[in-house]
Chain A
Amino acid sequence: MRALVWHGKEDIRYDTVTDPAIEDSRDAIIRVTSCAICGSDLHLFHNFIPAMLPGDIMGHEMMGEVVDVGHGAQSKLKVGDRIVVPFTIICGECDQCRRGNFSVCERTNRNKQLADKAFGHATAGLFGYTHLTGGYPGGQAEYLRVPFADATHIKVPSGLSDEQVLFLGDILPTGWQAAVQCDIEPTDTVAVWGCGPVGQMSIRSAILLGAKQVIAIDYLPERLSMAEAGGAVAINFAKESVLERLNELTNGKGPDKCIDATGLEAHISHHHPDSFIDRAKQMMLMENDRAHVLREMIYVCRPAGILSVPGVYSGLVDKVPMGQLMNKGLSVRTGQTHVNRWTDDLLRRIEEGQIDPSFVITHTVRLKHGPDMYRVFRDKQDSCIKVVLKP
């Protein structure tokens, strides 16, 4: 089959690889009908996430049709079923899964010993990601083996298009969880840093959850226009002071809730002098992540507010102002998304027409054009916000 394969920094290739095979009775194989490039794929593209190996298949947003099922998964899946695959692989039985903490499933990370050393305790296995999370082949491919398939799937009802449901596997529940973690109240102002796909979903989720005001912070006109379309007030940090505008919009109080949908690759610019220092440190392996957004959120947030962090961080960050964080009594909520905790509810909202996540798709191309689209997405060319690939 053909797949998009990581070969090193900025080197993703459209390769011929062997077909996946069922290894365990709980496995299933799907024929991928749609997959997407996620913002966090760019962190792998840039080699900021450790423990990638040449030959790893990319992709953790995918869906398709079941073509083979192990006998242990046949009670839940059958050949021909159409499923979205959540990016977190879950057993559905361990203590964490029973609590709904699916992204920290205790059984699915097949490199548990390595992850225990890196994180203290292992987290769930993830598709198309680092070997610290199991090194499972991803879904930017024609076929995908889904481990623990009896639990790791979202069945799709007929009548909904791939584009409407594909993002149930990652960015929609990620944006939703980011907003839910904010405990939004009707009087709240929610500020969202980064208007990429997760930021867009966070904005829609905050609107649905009833925030009084949602503020979107970015510098790209296409992303800010999409944020405004979703009901947000836009702040272009390249043209105006984020602090001054936030104070104007909140009567000097600051946003009650802040969402970091940017993560470890905060934009480097003269507007953010700390971003230059972070980048230099990153280059000299003195720091993993560029934490400008975290610092800014801590500074501007209203005291007793909540910081929700769906953006991906990989390791160590410097100069996090713990004094401000502690004295202002801020709460920080973060984590990889517990996808299946939210998907029944979100699927119902899609079916009822409350939200249609396909709004975020700006480019749809064949899988073979994937290597070029990684570059287009990374370089923010052609007003690209979200790429869907068709194998």
Chain B
Amino acid sequence: MTAMTMLSDYARSAGDPKVVETGRSSLPNVDRWARNLGWFSLALGATELFAPRAIARSLGMQGREPLLRAYGMREIGAGMLTLSTEKQTGVWSRVAGDGLDIATLLAARRRNNPKRDNVGVALALVIGITAVDLVVAQLSTTCHARGASEPRLYHDRSGFPGGIAAARGAARPRALAPAE
């Protein structure tokens, strides 16, 4: 039981039920992983947006701060999507963003970059995170898909035990009934 659940008991009256023990949740593990990735996106995006110089210095990418800020905005957008109910779109947008990050880091791994080793470490990290993103995106998409089987059709469920013809207008006020 979370602290918020216990705190919320103050908003309840004496006779209201209160949580004693929590049980199985509707939130599958893959959605929890997606949420963690969403929060990670927000943190990384905020860092890129507000501290681009430090990142640029550590990667030997001085002069590319505007690009890092733009990536920060992209990362925050992906984080918001991943934390929303459209989490699959959010995680797939992270995968696309990972691709951009990898391309950018590969370009920065030029021989004359004095921080080439740092770029290598960053590249390894991004590739690892890309793998996690790919797995979560795939699992999340499968978990929330409607399924491959054909939908059941309910043509036999009229709800009118006497049939539609008998039901049509059965509750019509008499004044509105068409003349015989």
List the interface of chain A (C-beta within 8 A of B). 1-3, 5, 7, 9-23, 27, 45-46, 53-57, 110, 131, 135-137, 141, 145, 184-186, 200, 204-205, 207-210, 220-222, 225-226, 228-231, 268, 279, 283-284, 349, 353-357, 359-360, 362, 368, 370-372, 374-375, 379-383, 385
Q: Which of B11, B28, B172 contacts A210 (CB 8 A)?
A: B172
User: Is B111 close to A, CB under 8 A?
Assistant: no
What's the nearest-Cβ distance from chain A to residue B173, in Å?
A: 8
CA distance A368 to B26 in the complex (A): 11
Given the contacts A23-B13, A207-B164, A230 and B158 also touching, CB distance less than 8 Å: yes
Q: Provide the residues of chain A in CB contact with B86, threshold 8 Å.
A: 268, 279
The 6 closest A-B pairs by CB, nearest first: A210-B172, A210-B169, A359-B159, A371-B26, A23-B15, A225-B153
User: Is B107 close to A, CB under 8 A?
Assistant: no
Q: Provide the residues of chain B in CB contact with A371, threshold 8 Å.
A: 24-26
Main secondary structure of the interface of A (DSSP, over half): mixed
CA distance A110 to B176 in the complex (A): 42
Chain B interface size band reads 35 or more
Contact B15 A53 (CB under 8 A): no
Contact B17 A20 (CB under 8 A): yes
Contact B160 A54 (CB under 8 A): no
Contact A349 B152 (CB under 8 A): no
Given the contacts A23-B13, A53-B11, A229-B158, A380 and B146 also touching, CB distance less than 8 Å: yes
Binary flags per residue of B116-146, CB closer than 8 Å to A gives 1, else 0: 0000000000000000000000000000111
Taking CB atoms and an 8 Å cut-off, the chain B residues in 134-180 that contact chain A are 144-147, 151-162, 164, 167-172, 176-178
Given the contacts A231-B164, A383-B151, A17 and B145 also touching, CB distance less than 8 Å: no
CB closest residue in chain A, given B163: A231
CA distance A198 to B68 in the complex (A): 49
Q: Provide the residues of chain B in CB contact with A141, threshold 8 Å.
A: 17
Contact B159 A360 (CB under 8 A): yes
Q: Which of A27, A353, A359 contacts B162 (CB 8 A)?
A: A353
Contact B27 A10 (CB under 8 A): yes
